[in-house]
Amino acid sequence: MNYYSLNFNSKDVNFLEAVQKGLAPDRGLYFPKHIPKLDKSFFDELDQKNNTQIAFETILPFVGGVIPEIYLQQIVHDALSFDFPIVPLTNRIASLELFHGPTLAFKDVGARFMARCLAYANAQKSKKELTILVATSGDTGGAVADGFYKVEGIKVVILFPKGKVSLLQEKQLTTLGKNITALEVDGVFDDCQDMVKSAFIDPEIKNEVNLTSANSINIARWLAQMFYYFIGYKNRPNPNNKLVVSVPSGNFGNLCAGLMAKQMGLPIDHFIAATNINDSVPQFLETGDYHPKPSQPTLSNAMDVGDPSNFIRIQKLFNNDFFKLKKVVSGYSYTDADTLKALKTIYKNTGYIADPHGAVGYLGLNQFLENNNEDYSGLFLETAHPIKFSKSVESAIKTQLKVPEKLKELLKREKTSLPIKNYKELKSYLLDS
C-alpha cells in the first residue's frame, strides 16, 4: 500500500515512510491509494478472534509488507495490552470505554502503535537518533510520552504551556525522565504550537536533527484507532439492531478512523459527530458550508478545535460528496451547560460516571435515537477516564471520585522540566542536546 499527499504535490510513499514523515513535504496529509475491503470470512469468524488478531488483520493491508508479519503481530499485541469494555446504560445505549490504557485516554492506542512502528523502522537502519517534537495542550503529550518511553533510538521533546495543564497531565508529562524531556513554555498552547512549526521549517535544525512529529495527523495514530470500532462491533450488546456509534470529536481523527473501518466493510450503520460549541463540522453537515473558526475553551477541552485537521480526510473518504457523507454521519453540538446536565442525569439515572467528552458523545447518541424510532442501538465512545476531569465531573454529580491506584503512584513522582521562553531557546536546546 502506498500513500499520497492530499495536496497532490509530493511523491507517493510507503507505510513506514509516511509514519516517519508525519506530514508530506507539500504540507498535505497522507491518504492511502486505495481502501482495502475485508473478506466476508473475516466477519463470519469475528466472534472467534481476539483483539490482537482483529487489529493485525485490519491493519495488515495498510502496512503493505514493509513490516514483517511476525513483528506486526507483536506491535499490535503490545499496543493493545489493555481492555475495551462495553458498559450498557439503558437497553439501547452503551458506553465503549477507551480509557483503560496507561494515560487514561483513547490516544494511548494510536500513540503506542505509532511508537512501536517507528522503533521497528529505526532498528532497520542504524541512522542517527530520531527526535519526536510535539506540542500539547494536555492529553496528547501524556500519551506520546508514555507510548515512546524507553523506546530505543527515539528521543521525545514535549512543549507544554506553563500552568495551563492539569496537575495530573503535568505529572504524566514531566515525571518519566530517560528519553522524555518536557519543556515548560512561558506562554499558551498556541505559542508551543508555533515554536514546533518553526523548528520543522528551520534549515539548520533540518541539517542537524532527525526530527518528526507525533500528532494525530500521523497515519499510524489515525489508522490504529480503527481497532476498537471492530472490537466494539464484535461485543455490541444488541446484535439484532442496527448499530450507531457516537464519537466525541475535536480534530476528527477518531471519527475518521471509524469511517475508514466502515468503508472496509464493518457494518456500523450510522455515525454521530458529537462536538462541544466548537461546531464547524456539525454546522457543515447542516448547511453544506465549511467555516473554520478560532477555537473556544470548554469543559471538554480536548475537543476545542475550530478547524479540524482530519476534516479533509473525511471528505476524501466520501469523494467530497456532501450527500453521501450526510447519509452516514449526523452532527450535533452541545454547550458546557448541556454537558454538566448530562453528567448529572447519566449518574442519577444509571449510576454511571462519564467524563465531559463522553457526555457529549452520550448526548449526540441520545438525540439520534430519539429522532430515529427504527431498530437502532448505539455505542458512545468514552474517550477519557472521568478522573482526568475530576473538577467538572465532581461538581456535576456532587460526589467525590475515587483516585485509581495507578494514579496515586504517579501523583507521588517528582516533576522535572526545562523552562523555555522563546524559539531561540528551543533551537539551542535541539542543536546542543
Ligand X SMILES: *Cc1c(COP(=O)(O)O)cnc(C)c1O
Residues in contact with ligand X, shown as a per-residue x/- string from 80 to 119 under the rule CB under 6 A: -------------------------x-x------------
Q: Total residues at the site for ligand X (CB under 6 A)?
A: 16
Find out whether 188 and 161 touch, Cβ atoms under 8 Å: yes
Q: Which three cell numbers stand for residue 403?
A: 483516585
Single residue of 133, 302, 314, 410 touching ligand X by CB under 6 A: 302
CB of 234 to ligand X, least distance (A): 22
Within 331-370, the residues that bind ligand X by CB under 6 A are 357
How far is 244 from 241, CA to CA, in rounded Å?
9
Q: Provide CB contacts within 8 A for 340, sequence distance 6+.
A: 299, 392, 395, 396
- Binding segment for ligand X among 12-20, 27-35, 246-254, 263-271 (CB under 6 A)? 246-254
Neighbours of 346 (CB within 10 A): 24
Residues in contact with ligand X, shown as a per-residue x/- string from 128 to 157 under the rule CB under 6 A: -----------x------------------
Single residue of 42, 62, 113, 252 touching ligand X by CB under 6 A: 252
Residues in contact with ligand X, shown as a per-residue x/- string from 253 to 272 under the rule CB under 6 A: xx------------------
Q: Does 193 bind ligand X (CB under 6 A)?
A: no
Q: Which three cell numbers stand for residue 238?
A: 444488541
CB of 189 to ligand X, least distance (A): 13
Q: Provide CB contacts within 8 A for 42, sequence distance 6+.
A: 57, 265
Within 23-52, the residues that bind ligand X by CB under 6 A are none
Q: What own/partner pairs with CB < 8 Å and gap ≥ 24 does 24-27 have?
A: none
CB of 363 to ligand X, least distance (A): 14
Q: Does 274 bind ligand X (CB under 6 A)?
A: no
Single residue of 141, 248, 258, 331 touching ligand X by CB under 6 A: 248
Runs of H (alpha helix) within 68-166: 69-79, 107-124, 139-148
Within 206-225, the residues that bind ligand X by CB under 6 A are 216
Runs of H (alpha helix) within 249-373: 253-263, 280-287, 311-317, 322-328, 336-350, 356-371
How far is 334 from 188, CA to CA, in rounded Å?
25
Q: What are the CA-CA distances from residue 200 to residues 132, 193, 210, 367, 426 (Å)?
A: 11, 11, 10, 43, 12
CB of 172 to ligand X, least distance (A): 12
Binding residues (CB under 6 A) for ligand X: these are 105, 107, 139, 216, 248-254, 302-303, 357, 383-384
